[in-house]
A and B are shown apart, each in its own frame.
Chain A
Amino acid sequence: MAEKLLMKGNEAIAEAAIRSGCRFFFGYPITPQTEISEYMAKNMPKVNGLCLQAESEVAAINMVLGASAAGARVLTSSSSPGVSLKSEGISYLVGSDLPCVIVNVQRGGPGLGGIQPAQSDYNQATKGLGHGDQHIIVLAPASVQEMATLTGEAFDLADIYRTPVMLLADGALGQMMEPVDFEEKPHREIPPKDWACTGHGGKRKPNIINSLYIEPNDLERTVVERYKRYALIEEKEVKYEEFLTDDAEIVVVAYGITARIVKTAVKAARAKGIKAGLFRPITLYPFPSKQLDAIADREHVKAFLSVEMNMGQMVNDIKVAINCKKHVSHFGRTGGVIPTPDEILENIEKVGGAN
């Protein structure tokens, strides 16, 4: 094991990106993710990479499109309002089948909102991060270590499936420091980027990167092909963690920073004799629907409780996953408020009492 470093989550993302071969960063500052830009500005030149502060989020995401079209590993990062600005460009990246990694260190919304941690962009990230028939892979880290590990994984997934991948974090994960070690992650086979626009030198047919298809049948064909890839992603790339779910009667579903607070609450519930467990989706798209459904089939499972830093955006995904065969309720804080273990425990007890 390599020596551990005490790092901010934002810094861990930036360092992991550089170690993953990312050599281009385009961004525009916004709290609480600016340390990513800061780290890149300092460290990209050391590896002959480029860190460029764009004139806006819109410009940054289109620079990402350009670098990706040329075959480079490229990163952009922002926080909630800034990600909304990028959404047009993200749709173009999807339509052009271009890999890239987009970081959202979420803050409270809607509008300019606040600057404290939130998870209220769940629906945006998993359902509507751009117009058209589309998905992007969404990864939800829950520690500074995972901020690093999942950044590396995000670059691999992006290249393997030729798709943008979002790392959906929050202000707490971005700002907090924890030990992190940048050990080698498992090697994944990356296909050659023979589609990239790198100059053909008269030796091959030119590559064209484009998201415009005037002929409906052509456009339909590209979308259907892309959905075959989504099916593959849903089959092969689901990630999740289970904690004390084996005999659980109440299964709490939570991701990101909230999941670790839930762990504390689950332990406290167990100490009080309540059989609680935690199911933590790590991929939010693809959502671990099958795995949740299998848990819902267990006779001892009485109810699900979704805990999020929003007003209940994941509840429908849980209900659909388990076909509403068990009751699903929600507890959340929003607007930048981080729930305490006590509040979560209270809600686990409430669900336990009602069932």
Chain B
Amino acid sequence: MSAILIAGFGGQGVLFAGKQLALAGMKMDKQVSFIPSYGPEMRGGTSNCSVNIDDEPIGSPVVTRPEILLVLNLPSFEKFESKVVPGGTMIVNSSLVHVKSQRADIHAYYIPATELADQNGLSGLANVIMLGKMLKATGIFEFDYFRACLLASAPKSRPQLGEMNAKALEIGYNYEG
């Protein structure tokens, strides 16, 4: 069972990242659900999505107590850090979040995802870099399997998008910091 929450600004690819996790779970014949926040929250404010990946049928699609939390900006950190279940994992985009978690009961990882994306010509792919870090930290999916899923989900007319995602995933996965 994995209850995952991904949160950031609108435009940071929060929903894309969530959908990729749900797709990867579905292809492994897991029960999955994905639900985005919608409405006024999306306009310029925070955007978030809930993903459940489970062996059992999923109850509420809305993740209120994440086992895995990805935060891409400061408002999301402030809103959701306290919600992570004890023993859970939090991945923080330290390019935009300059504070650290004070909680001793969760595993927190910090990765300057936005800067890494910009330095590698992958502007806009901080989300996928975060996913790479998450795979490494949690082992939720095998790296090769998830990489293949990312490549497969790129539109056939633009396979280079898949390649860029795969590169971003690798950068996040291999980041030591």
Q: Do A and B bind each other?
A: yes
B139 at interface, CB cutoff 8 A: no
What are the interface flags for A335-346 relative to B under an 8 Å C-beta threshold, 1 for contact and 0 otherwise?
Answer: 000101100000
Asked if A263 and B59 sit within 8 Å, CB to CB, the answer is yes
B22 at interface, CB cutoff 8 A: yes
B131 at interface, CB cutoff 8 A: no
Residues of the B chain whose Cβ atoms lie less than 8 Å from the Cβ of A265 = 59
Chain A proximity of B30: nearest CB distance (Å): 9
B62 at interface, CB cutoff 8 A: yes
Q: Which of B22, B33, B38, B60 has the most CB of A within 10 A?
A: B60
Say yes or no: A260-B58 contact (C-beta < 8 A), given A176-B33, A177-B34, A178-B33: yes
In chain A between 315 and 338, which residues have their CB closer than 8 angstroms to a CB of chain B? 338
- Closest Cβ neighbor of A265 among chain B residues: B59
Contact count band on A: 20 to 34
Asked if A32 and B38 sit within 8 Å, CB to CB, the answer is yes
Residues of the A chain whose Cβ atoms lie less than 8 Å from the Cβ of B22 = 6, 177
A78 at interface, CB cutoff 8 A: no
Asked if A263 and B33 sit within 8 Å, CB to CB, the answer is no
CA distance A4 to B29 in the complex (A): 9
Contact count band on B: 10 to 19
Chain B proximity of A31: nearest CB distance (Å): 7
Chain B proximity of A40: nearest CB distance (Å): 19
Asked if A176 and B59 sit within 8 Å, CB to CB, the answer is no
Residues of the B chain whose Cβ atoms lie less than 8 Å from the Cβ of A176 = 33-35, 61
Asked if B60 and A261 sit within 8 Å, CB to CB, the answer is yes
Asked if B60 and A341 sit within 8 Å, CB to CB, the answer is yes
CA distance A177 to B23 in the complex (A): 10
A115 at interface, CB cutoff 8 A: yes
A21 at interface, CB cutoff 8 A: no
CA distance A311 to B23 in the complex (A): 36
- B26 interface neighbour in A6, A116, A260, A338, Cβ under 8 Å: A6
What are the interface flags for B22-66 relative to A under an 8 Å C-beta threshold, 1 for contact and 0 otherwise?
Answer: 110010000011111011100000000000000001111110100
CA distance A178 to B19 in the complex (A): 10
A110 at interface, CB cutoff 8 A: no
CA distance A32 to B35 in the complex (A): 13
Asked if B38 and A177 sit within 8 Å, CB to CB, the answer is no
Asked if B57 and A177 sit within 8 Å, CB to CB, the answer is no
CA distance A338 to B61 in the complex (A): 10
Asked if B32 and A178 sit within 8 Å, CB to CB, the answer is yes
Asked if B26 and A4 sit within 8 Å, CB to CB, the answer is yes
Asked if B26 and A175 sit within 8 Å, CB to CB, the answer is no
Residues of the B chain whose Cβ atoms lie less than 8 Å from the Cβ of A171 = 38
Q: Which of B22, B32, B33, B57 has the most CB of A within 10 A?
A: B33
Chain A proximity of B154: nearest CB distance (Å): 15
- B19 interface neighbour in A177, A257, A340, Cβ under 8 Å: A177
Asked if B59 and A175 sit within 8 Å, CB to CB, the answer is no
Asked if A179 and B26 sit within 8 Å, CB to CB, the answer is yes
Residues of the B chain whose Cβ atoms lie less than 8 Å from the Cβ of A261 = 59-60
Asked if A31 and B60 sit within 8 Å, CB to CB, the answer is no
Q: Which of B40, B61, B64 has the most CB of A within 10 A?
A: B61
Say yes or no: A175-B38 contact (C-beta < 8 A), given A4-B26, A263-B57: yes
A252 at interface, CB cutoff 8 A: no
- Closest Cβ neighbor of B30 among chain A residues: A179
Residues of the A chain whose Cβ atoms lie less than 8 Å from the Cβ of B40 = 115
- A177 interface neighbour in B35, B60, B62, Cβ under 8 Å: B35
Asked if A264 and B59 sit within 8 Å, CB to CB, the answer is yes
30 residue pairs of the A-B complex, CB under 8 angstroms, read A6-B26, A31-B38, A32-B38, A115-B38, A115-B40, A116-B39, A172-B35, A172-B61, A175-B36, A175-B38, A176-B33, A176-B34, A176-B61, A177-B33, A177-B34, A178-B32, A178-B33, A178-B58, A260-B57, A260-B59, A261-B59, A263-B57, A263-B59, A264-B59, A264-B60, A338-B60, A338-B62, A340-B64, A341-B59, A341-B60
Q: Interface on B for A, CB 8 Å cutoff?
A: 19, 22-23, 26, 32-36, 38-40, 57-62, 64
15 extra interface residue pairs, beta carbon distance < 8 Å, beyond A179-B26, A264-B59, A338-B62: A6-B22, A6-B34, A115-B38, A115-B39, A171-B38, A172-B35, A172-B62, A178-B33, A178-B58, A257-B61, A260-B57, A260-B60, A261-B59, A340-B60, A340-B64
